[in-house]
């Protein structure tokens, strides 16, 4: 992860307040918070992993 800040907006009465969190931490709803550049990297890694697993399944080796 990096040192970027991710912003979340939390309901506060009839308005919202901004909450700053570091990239890679857990959000207010339990989700992983990632900045845009880290999210893009994660999506690329997941796509590469899915492609590798598809090839392994087609070769009869199963997933890793």
Domain containing 22 equals: 5-57
Cα 37 to Cα 51: distance, rounded to the nearest angstrom: 21
Residue 32: burial class (beta carbons within 10 Å; 0-12, 13-18, 19+): middle
CA contacts within 13 A on the Cβ side of 9 = 4
Q: Confidence class of residue 17 from pLDDT cuts 50, 70 and 90?
A: very high
pLDDT digits (tens, 9 = 90+) for 20-64: 999 989 998 999 899 988 888 888 888 988 999 899 888 888 766
pLDDT (0 to 100) of residue 63? 67
Q: Which residues contact 52 (CB under 8 A, 6 or more apart)?
A: 64
In a domain, 45, yes or no: yes
In a domain, 23, yes or no: yes
In a domain, 62, yes or no: no
- Please indicate, yes or no, whether the overall pTM of this predicted structure exceeds 0.75: no
């Amino acid at each position: 992860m990096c040192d970027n800040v991710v912003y979340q907006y939390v309901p506060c009465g009839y308005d919202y307040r901004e909450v700053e969190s570091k990239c890679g931490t857990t959000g207010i709803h339990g989700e992983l918070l990632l900045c845009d550049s880290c999210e893009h990297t994660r999506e690329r890694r997941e796509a590469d992993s899915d492609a590798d697993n598809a090839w392994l399944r087609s070769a009869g080796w199963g997933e890793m």
